[in-house]
Amino acid sequence: MKFGLFYELSVPRPWTRESERTVYQNALEQVRLADELGFDQVWAVEHHFLEEYSHCPAPELFLTACAMITKRIRVGHGIVICVPEFNHPIKIAERTAVLDILSGGRLEVGTGRSATWTELGGFRANPDTTKKSWDEFVRCLPKMWTQETYSYEGEFWSMPERTIVPKVYQRPHPPLWVAVTSPGTELDAAERGLGSLGLTFGQFAEQEKRIAEYRRRIRNCEPVGAFVNDQVSTVNFLYCHEDDTTARTTGRRMADTFNYLASQLISAREAFPSRSYQSLGLLPQLRRQATGPDATEQAGEGLAFGGPQRVIHTLKRWEAVGVDRVNFLMNAMEVIPQADVLASLRLFAKEVMPAFADEKPASVAAGAGA
Amino acid sequence: MPTFGTLELTSVVDRLATMPDLDTEAWSLPGAEILQLAFEVPRATETLLPRAMHPAIPPYATIWVTRYTESPVGPFTLAQLRLMGRAGAHPRGFVLGAVASTEDAARALRERWGLPVVPGRVTFTRRHDRVMASVVRDGVTVLDCELIDPEAIFGGDVQYIHSITLAHAPLEGQTGPRLIQVDSRYTIKKAERGRPRVSTLVAPAWGAGPLRALNPIAATVTSVDTDLPRIRFVMDVEIPVVRGTRRIRESREE
């Protein structure tokens, strides 16, 4: 099992230029330490307009900074929104190629389509068509990275023949992933030979069922890229402390803060009923888990809060469920002081990571390399 | 923390409904039709939202026009303007104003659920290419809206958000302004979606001073069996609902 960091970059009000900068600087300091400690990846989201919850609209810039201050940690676009109003496919191919070059072949590319009206409406994107545009984009991207010249006529975009430069550094290309929040999206990933980049928290039984079906389907996939990325990644909170009670209390506070912020977002389906967003996705789950009169006891299941032994036990369960990678959200709204976040990372690396040692690097397992 | 509403109670307290008690019996309302239009509204609408609630990001409102074919007070049509927000972690629509097509319905809805309803002329008109609604009060058209080009969608894709209303309500021997949750159920039999268009919305007539219909989002029309339930949750209007919510009965059926 591999471990990584996952960033939404939430910034509490009142917003000042220093508070925004502090959140970014803290994150970079964490990434630098994580690289030294042996964490495998760092992921950053692409979100727009999500006040306080995520001030990370340009993950490729943040990830470039991460790459420049580290030596081996992989950098993950988690995710790039594959909707034409947000990102033109040519720009995605170009930006990711440059990041792959600058990072020396350490790029992972997550793909997705946005799940909030706040974002979709802000870009005047049609929620009905985001899944279709995503499908078109992910089929184009590997070809744009690898073919000498490229031309395309599709439903959502087109281009005459051109040479898209530069090409990606990794051969044949960086691993591709799909953000999985709504049930069923893991099957979209499997059928296309894409990694499952889970963005839901907790709940072993539900995840085990979905992972098993993903594994079954991907055996017969028709890959959109040059190789199959059959890895399953999930996201989790992390707060590790020698004192189990302190860890759980602090971790719970972080999770409650994050979930409460997430519950303020307008899911696509809340405002715009559409077949394209059949399930309610991540937000209702987080709403149930947020602090309030009907918060559930189940909310803490599978979350990596605790002393080292408790965290090992939790992550072993995730490993048994079939998860290959866990990416950790380590703070929300800066509720945990930076020194404590760094201490949590150090303790995790010292006490927890050895229990999961002696496995092949994730990038090798995925079939791509520099 | 997310921002909160900034409603000054003194600006609305005189026009709130008064509920004699919180023991309202449920109404079963089969065979209804609901026209809902959603559209974004200015940030300034936070002045319309109670301090207990968070504004939505971005702020948006819904016009809800419901034609009830059966009810204990006979058939009636109800138009509501709701400012959408969050009660703690939960999406809720705060009812700014409402107009019912009969005096009996207006009175019952004010007394039993605390909805800020006044009587008026409310129309709900179906044509093959659109569904239209209008509200006239004192000879003035205060709402004229429509769903254009309806197309069938799956009923399960429509998510109706529960309402919260502000009313004078008794609790532990004291009557005062409180937030009341009205969490109706909906069994959707048929659903269509189209483009929303709001031609006339006289905000002051709905107690919605700075509200204007800006960026249109979506419109739906559904055929539903629904209800108006017993009241379960009462909230303090001035403190965050995560701290100020009282559950006054366990279930809707109790």
pLDDT per residue over B4-61, tens digit each? Answer: 999 999 999 999 999 999 999 999 999 999 999 999 999 999 999 999 999 999 999 9
Contact A211, A233 (CB under 8 A): no
**Chain B CB contacts of A266 below 8 Å:** 56-58, 60, 91
Q: Which of A264, A272, A275 sits opposite B86 (nearest CB)?
A: A264
Beta bridge partners of B198: B145
Nearest-CA distance A28 → chain B (Å): 24
pTM (two decimals):
0.93
Give the pLDDT band (50/70/90) at residue A163: very high
CA distance B52 to B239: 5
> Is the CB of A271 less than 8 angstroms away from the CB of B217?
yes
pLDDT at A294 exceeding the cut of 50: no
Q: What's the pLDDT at A110?
A: 98
Give the pLDDT band (50/70/90) at residue B1: confident
> Is the CB of A273 less than 8 angstroms away from the CB of B220?
yes
> Is the CB of B88 less than 8 angstroms away from the CB of A291?
yes
**Chain B CB contacts of A278 below 8 Å:** 154, 156-157
**Chain B CB contacts of A122 below 8 Å:** 58
Search chain A and give the residue with CA nearest B60.
Answer: A271
- Residues B143-197 have pLDDT tens digits of 999 999 999 999 999 999 999 999 999 999 999 999 999 999 999 999 999 999 9
Task: Give ∠ CA A283-B193-B101 in degrees, rounded to 5.
Answer: 100
Handedness of CA A331, A335, A336, A338 (dihedral sign): positive
Q: Is B188 on the interface with A (CB under 8 A)?
A: no
Q: Is A367 on the interface with B (CB under 8 A)?
A: no
CA distance A168 to A151: 18
Among A116, A119, A131, A270, the strongest candidate for a mutation testing the B interface, having the largest count of B CBs within 10 A, is A270
> Is the CB of A260 less than 8 angstroms away from the CB of B89?
yes
- Residues B72-87 have pLDDT tens digits of 999 999 999 999 999 9
Q: Is A279 on the interface with B (CB under 8 A)?
A: no
Give the pLDDT band (50/70/90) at residue A347: very high
Q: What phi and psi, each to the nearest 5 degrees, are found at residue A36?
A: -65, -35
- Residues within 8 A of B (CB atoms), A 160-199 only: none
Q: Which of B57, B90, B159 sits opposite A273 (nearest CB)?
A: B159
**Chain A CB contacts of B241 below 8 Å:** 292
Q: What's the pLDDT at A181?
A: 85
Q: What is the CATH number of the domain that holds A331?
A: 3.20.20.30
Beta bridge partners of B166: B179
Distance of CA B102 to the CA centre of its chain: 17
* Helices A89-102/A130-146 angle, 10° precision: 50
Q: Which of A118, A290, A293 sits opposite B57 (nearest CB)?
A: A118
Give the pLDDT band (50/70/90) at residue A364: very low
Domain enclosing residue A122, as ranges? 2-366
Among B157, B160, B181, B251, the strongest candidate for a mutation testing the A interface, having the largest count of A CBs within 10 A, is B157
Share of chain A above pLDDT 90, in %: 83
Q: What phi and psi, each to the nearest 5 degrees, are found at residue B120?
A: -175, -175
Helix (H) or strand (E) run with residue A26 in it: helix A17-37
Q: Is A260 on the interface with B (CB under 8 A)?
A: yes
Q: Is B217 on the interface with A (CB under 8 A)?
A: yes
Q: Report how many domains make up chain A.
A: 1
Rounded to an integer, the average pLDDT of A87-114 is: 98
> Is the CB of A121 less than 8 angstroms away from the CB of B2?
no
Alpha helices in chain B (DSSP H): 103-113, 241-244
HSE-CB for B195 with a 13 A CA cutoff:
7
Q: Strands (DSSP E) along B107-208, which ranges?
A: 117-119, 121-127, 130-137, 140-153, 163-171, 174-182, 186-201
Give the pLDDT band (50/70/90) at residue B237: very high
Rounded to an integer, the average pLDDT of A333-347 is: 98
Query: What is the average pLDDT value for chain A, to the nearest integer?
Result: 91
> Is the CB of A290 less than 8 angstroms away from the CB of B88?
yes
Q: What's the pLDDT at A233?
A: 96
Domains of chain B, each with CATH number or no CATH: 9-247 (2.40.400.10)
Nearest-CA distance B117 → chain A (Å): 25
Q: Which of A121, A269, A275 sits opposite B215 (nearest CB)?
A: A121
> Is the CB of B88 less than 8 angstroms away from the CB of A261?
no
Give the pLDDT band (50/70/90) at residue A199: confident
Nearest-CA distance A7 → chain B (Å): 19
Give the pLDDT band (50/70/90) at residue A203: confident
CA distance B113 to B111: 6
> Is the CB of A293 less than 8 angstroms away from the CB of B215?
no
